[in-house]
């Protein structure tokens, strides 16, 4: 089983963010929310029939704004797989020695820190509440606390962080030698401060080509410290891929608990096509139909679509009946997935 728990509280709202989160909530309101989550997690385990938990992900928002100790107690008593992965998302300002120690004690074995940039001017325009130096200090504390599976998130394609500033961000990220790095291409979400500024002409977004060039530069810089690109936006040292996300892309069920969290239980099409995002594994219509016989009627249609993209050089077809994204294909993966759906 794979479980995602959402904590929709943030210190401030980032300029680009359209995720569901509350900025002004009292401690009592947050405690009430966590009590509700605890009841739902207990109900989830009670209905699971003793199945083992493979991955657990506390995301947000900012989980650190909540008291997680009661949740750790509930989780500690459950059946878990041998390679159980328990990730908590962090903001650099969350990384305090007491909190990190509590995470370790609570069984957390993977941390994901949202840094987004190592350029202070960029961080300010993003509305991030931390500096680059605070992110570096937080990273040292994470390593000093003994977390040997930890990663950071970056955003590429930010309007003010072109050229040299992005390269400095990549150098700083690589210097930390993270186990994992997610590099998300900026998406202009409606009703955000960024969208508002773009509409009024205060900010101009870089072209798609410029953003893709930044992603390519990330692949190069992170490759230099041993992180392989294994998914469109994800880079990891071998063996340090995010198992929770891998499970999602490979088509396993997952359950989401909390405001704004979604679950996938039994939707056969979305179980299989997201395998295409995994650069080495790829997507095989024949294997998909073998795994889920109800999809057999889609094989011809999918094969025709995938062959068309392969002819354009966006996919590579191999003898194991599998289609994998080429370098150019990674740039248009969403278009290919939309056609497959």
Query: How many residues at the interface with ligand SF4, by CB under 6 A?
Result: 10
Residues 234-273, one symbol each (x = binds ligand SF4 by CB under 6 A, - = not), give: ----------------------------------------
Is there binding between residue 10 and ligand SF4 (CB under 6 A)?
Answer: yes
Residues 73-112, one symbol each (x = binds ligand SF4 by CB under 6 A, - = not), give: ----------------------------------------
C-alpha distances (whole Å) from 247 to each of 17, 55, 177, 184 are 25, 8, 25, 19
Return the closest-CA partner of residue 30 out of 66, 72, 74, 71.
66
Is there binding between residue 19 and ligand SF4 (CB under 6 A)?
Answer: yes
Is there binding between residue 60 and ligand SF4 (CB under 6 A)?
Answer: yes
Q: Which residues contact 339 (CB under 8 A, 6 or more apart)?
A: 305, 309
Side-chain-side CA neighbours of residue 100 (13 Å): 21
Nearer to ligand SF4, 17 or 210 (CB): 17
Q: Tell me the pairing of strands 80-90 and 110-116.
A: parallel
Nearer to ligand SF4, 9 or 283 (CB): 9
Q: Which of 2, 21, 55, 169 binds ligand SF4 (CB under 6 A)?
A: 21
DSSP string, 173-207: HHHT--SEEEEEEP---TTSHHHHHHHTTS--PPP
Q: Which of 13, 40, 80, 136 binds ligand SF4 (CB under 6 A)?
A: 13
Q: Which of 1, 5, 14, 152 binds ligand SF4 (CB under 6 A)?
A: 14
Binding part of the chain for ligand SF4, among 17-25, 170-178, 237-245, 290-298 by CB under 6 A, reads: 17-25
87 phi/psi in degrees, rounded to 5: -105, 140
Residues 107-126, one symbol each (x = binds ligand SF4 by CB under 6 A, - = not), give: -------x------------
Asked if 248 contacts 2 with a C-beta cutoff of 8 angstroms, the reply is yes
Nearer to ligand SF4, 13 or 25 (CB): 13
Residue 94 host element (H or E)? none
Residues that bind ligand SF4 (CB under 6 A): 10, 13-14, 17, 19, 21, 60-62, 114
């Amino acid at each position: 089983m794979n479980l995602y728990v959402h904590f929709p509280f943030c210190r401030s709202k980032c300029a680009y963010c359209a995720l569901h989160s509350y900025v002004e909530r009292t401690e009592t309101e947050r405690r009430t929310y966590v009590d509700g989550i605890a009841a739902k997690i207990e109900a989830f385990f009670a209905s699971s029939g003793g199945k083992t938990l493979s991955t657990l992900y506390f995301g947000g928002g900012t989980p650190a704004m909540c008291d997680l100790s009661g949740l750790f107690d509930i989780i500690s008593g459950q059946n878990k797989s041998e390679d159980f992965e328990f990730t908590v998302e962090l903001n650099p300002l969350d990384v305090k020695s007491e909190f990190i120690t509590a995470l370790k004690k609570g069984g957390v074995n993977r941390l994901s820190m949202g840094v987004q940039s190592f350029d202070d001017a960029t961080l300010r325009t993003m509305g991030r509440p931390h500096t680059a130096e605070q992110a570096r200090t937080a990273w040292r504390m994470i390593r000093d606390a003994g977390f040997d599976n930890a990663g950071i998130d970056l955003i590429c394609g930010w309007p003010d962080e072109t050229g040299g500033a992005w390269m400095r961000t990549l150098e700083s990220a690589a210097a930390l030698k993270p186990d994992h790095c997610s590099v998300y291409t900026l998406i202009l979400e409606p009703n955000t401060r960024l969208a508002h500024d773009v509409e009024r002409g205060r900010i101009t977004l870089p072209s798609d080509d410029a953003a893709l060039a930044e992603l390519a530069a990330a692949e190069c810089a992170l490759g230099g410290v041993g992180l392989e690109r294994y998914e469109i936006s994800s880079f990891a040292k071998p063996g340090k891929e995010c198992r929770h996300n891998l499970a999602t892309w490979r088509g396993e069920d997952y359950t989401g608990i909390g405001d704004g969290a979604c679950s996938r239980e039994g939707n056969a099409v979305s179980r299989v096509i997201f395998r295409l995002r995994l650069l080495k594994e790829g997507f095989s219509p024949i294997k998909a139909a073998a795994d889920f016989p109800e999809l057999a009627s889609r094989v011809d249609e999918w094969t025709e679509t995938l062959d068309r993209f392969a002819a354009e050089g966006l996919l590579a077809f191999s003898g194991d009946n599998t289609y994998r994204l080429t370098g150019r294909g990674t740039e248009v993966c969403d278009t290919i997935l939309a056609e497959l759906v």
